[in-house]
Structures are given as C-alpha cells and as structure tokens.
Amino acid sequence: MSGSALYETFARVPLTFDRGEGAWLITDKGDRYLDFAAGIAVNSLGHGHPHLVEALTTQAAKLWHVSNLYEIPDQTRLATRLTEASFADKVFFTNSGAEALECAIKTARRYHYVNGHPERYRTITFEGAFHGRTLATIAAGGQQKYLEGYGPKVDGFDQVPFDDIDAAEKLITAETAAILVEPVQGEGGIRSLPVQSLKRLRQLCDKHDLLLIFDEVQCGIGRTGKLFAHEWAAITPDLMAIAKGIGGGFPMGACLATDEAAKGMTPGVHGTTFGGNPLAMAVGNAVLDVVLADGFLEDVQRKALLMKQGLAAVADEFPEIIEGIRGTGLMLGLKCAAPNGKVNIALRDQKLLAVPAGDNVIRLLPPLTVTDAEIQDGLGRIRAAAQTMSEALAAAK
Ligand SMILES: *Cc1c(COP(=O)(O)O)cnc(C)c1O
C-alpha cells in the first residue's frame, strides 16, 4: 500500500488544523491562519460559534437520530422557517448538496410525470456548472474531468454555454422538464448570472411549463448579502437546492419547492435515512437564528463592499498578478493574471486560506461573521502575497 489508507482522491495541503475560533484556524503547531475559505462556504458563522455549539451540544445530550419514521419537531420548524423566508411551500432535508440536487431533479421529473408527461424528463444546465459528484449530478454539471471513466453519462441532461439564454431556448424540446442553474457559479469561478438572464430564464420556464431550479448550495444562506442570491433578481424559482452554509459546518442540505412543483412527491417516492436528523436540525435552526436576526444581512452587505473596494485597490496596484475582482457579497473572486494555484500558495504563505476555482480564479469566502478588522488584516495579507509574486516576476525578467 502506498501513502495513507485513504483514497487518493484529494490532493491535500500538508496542514493539520486542531481548532478554530471565528475566522481563524489554528494548526497542531499553533500557527494561526485567517480562514477566507470557510470550508468552501460551509462555516457560514465561522468556527466555534457559541450559539451553534450550544445548539449542537444540547441536542447531542437529548437525542441524535430516530429516522423519518417518526415526527421530528425541529425538522418541521426549520422547514416552516425556510418556507416563510422564501418562495417555497415545502422542504425535503438531505445530508449534502448533491443529494439536495438529486431531490430537485427527481421532483421536477415527477411533476411532469403526474401531469401526464412522463416523456418530459430532461434538464438544461450551463457550462462551468457544478452540482455535485453523484452520477446524476456529474451529468448535470457536464464537466468532462468529473465524468471520465464512469461509464455512460446519466441520460437527461443537455448543456448550453454559460449565460447563453438563446441557446437554452433553442434546446427546449417536448422532453424538457426543467432548467437548472447556479445564480452565482462557485466552482466555475465566481461567475454571476446577470439579473436580466435570471429574469429571462423565469420567463422561458413560464412559457414552456418548465420548472426553474436554482442551485444555491454555495451562494445561498446569506453569502451574497441576501438570504438567497436570486433575491437580487427579484424572481423566484420553482425548486432550489441548498446545503453548505445552512449547516454552519454540520453536514446537511435541503430541497425547497413550491406546492405545485412538489405535487408528484407523494408517500414512498423518495426518502433518506439521515436527512433531517435532530442534530442537523438543531444546528440549521441555530444558523437561521443568527442569519435572520435584524441587521445581519445588511451588515454582510456593508462588509462585502469594504472587502471588494480593498481588493480592487490591490488589483489596481498589481495587475500583473490580479486582473480583476468579481462576485457579490462575501462570495468574491480574484480573477488572476498569474496562475491561480501559485496565487493560492502565495496567500497561504501569508497565512491566509482561500480556494482556487475554475476560470483561473481564487475564491474568497470568509465567514459571514468576519469583522472589519479581520477584513483589513486579510487585505493586508492579500496585498503582501501579490507584492511578493510581483517582485519574483520582476526578478525573473
Ligand atoms: C458544493 C456544491 C454542490 C455539492 O455539494 P456536496 O455537499 O459536495 O454534495 C452542489 N452545487 C454547488 C453549487 C456547490 O457549490
């Protein structure tokens, strides 16, 4: 056996974190890193948030798991709160983003099935999308690197170029059931779908009786400064997958639906063993307590502006390293001029954690609870990394 006993699927950075405090991660050697990766937008309230720790430990002492054979009051409560805060009427809880997407895709197919159109099962998606790693969600994402070697691609997904709404309309056939899109692509490189395009997708779906599915697994739960990213476009989907931020670090996801879209989801047609378990529900409710508190999202917007302006100044100073800034809220991207992998290493050398994404972008996803002082600290580290790279570039000439 070579290396560790783990699958070799992850190219891990040789860092071991022992504990976390808010926006900080501390290694086993005591080094402090400013965490602008937040577990890929998962630790929405940072590490060790007292309200989440309290919710989880209190629940842990009471009850962990009963299965969905029985009533779970906190599940009903969290579903009610999510529906009251969104377009949705119904919620199905899962353990991950991919499972939330699977539920959304299945719900869309069942909708047409119970409407007497079992032939309508295809979903249109966009290039650069990421919807998860199950067989269906790699087919939905359509990225060759994730599909290779896994046999025939799961049928039922058609893809058009990013933001090409005309191409999407042309691809609609009598077999189309839904259009699936991330309002802001995460893995794809922090690419926001313009408000106009989101509105056009809504119109297309209305015109052709398609269900509009949003994947807000990464951009949802306050990340863009609204509870859900699509709120910026003032339109609503029929179905939406969320995960990452809603658990604040505890694995959970959910599929949200209107009553109409969910009408095919009758007893027995879908299920989960772990989804909606009491531990996850306690944490999910605690995350909402914080994110929905008066002024929280406005403060995210304010901090996001501070950060974006600071980043723009760094990009202006070092255009040979950072070409531009993109994204909304605390979901920001550095479009790199240098290779993004190298920028990421330079940032890590400054003890700042970020996440590379597609399109040669570095993602900055600080906890939503990041302070102004931490943003300034982070900007200083990003500037220092850019300066170091810039000097190395000049020396090599
Ligand atoms: C992370 C992510 C997923 C997949 O979530 P998992 O929990 O890894 O299954 C799906 N869609 C988007 C937009 C994501 O960022």
Judged by DSSP in three states, 94 sits in strand
Indicate if ligand 1 lies below 6 Å from the C-beta of 223. Answer: no
Residue 241 to residue 281: CA distance in whole angstroms: 16
Pocket test for ligand 1, best of 95, 126, 130, 365 (most atoms within 8 A of CB): 130
Q: What would the 3-class secondary structure string for 1-54 be?
A: CCCCCCCCCCCCCCCCEEEEEECEEEECCCCEEEECCHHHHCCCCCECCHHHHH
CA dihedral 311, 316, 319, 325 (to 10 degrees): 40
Domain formed by 63-291, architecture: 3-Layer(aba) Sandwich (3.40)
- Residue 149's pLDDT is 98
Same fold, 17-47+301-396 and 63-291: no
Does any ligand 1 atom lie closer than 6 A to the CB of residue 363?
Answer: no
Ligand 1 neighbourhood includes 215 CB (under 6 angstroms): yes
Over its length of 397 residues, how does the chain's per-residue pLDDT go in tens digits?
568 999 999 999 999 999 999 999 999 999 999 999 999 999 999 999 999 999 999 999 999 999 999 999 999 999 999 999 999 999 999 999 999 999 999 999 999 999 999 999 999 999 999 999 999 999 999 999 999 999 999 999 999 999 999 999 999 999 999 999 999 999 999 999 999 999 999 999 999 999 999 999 999 999 999 999 999 999 999 999 999 999 999 999 999 999 999 999 999 999 999 999 999 999 999 999 999 999 999 999 999 999 999 999 999 999 999 999 999 999 999 999 999 999 999 999 999 999 999 999 999 999 999 999 999 999 999 999 999 999 999 999 8
Q: What is the pLDDT of residue 2?
A: 65
**Model pLDDT, residue 1:** 58
Distance (Å) from CA 216 to ligand 1 centroid: 9
Sequence-ordered alpha helix ranges (H) in 90-219: 97-114, 135-141, 144-147, 165-171, 195-208
Nearest CA among 219, 230, 204 for reference residue 129:
219
Output the pLDDT for position 397: 84
Query: Percent of the chain, pLDDT > 90?
Result: 99
Q: How far is the CA of 393 from the centre of ligand 1 (A)?
A: 36
Q: 164 φ, ψ to 5°?
A: -100, 85
Structure-token pair, residue 364: 């900055």
Cα torsion 149, 154, 157, 162 to 10°: value is -20
Question: Which H/E stretch holds residue 377?
Answer: helix 372-396
Phi, psi of 228 (to 5 degrees): -125, 140
Class of domain 17-47+301-396: alpha beta
What is the residue extent of each domain of the chain? 17-47+301-396, 63-291
With contact defined as beta carbons under 8 Å apart, do 191 and 162 qualify? yes
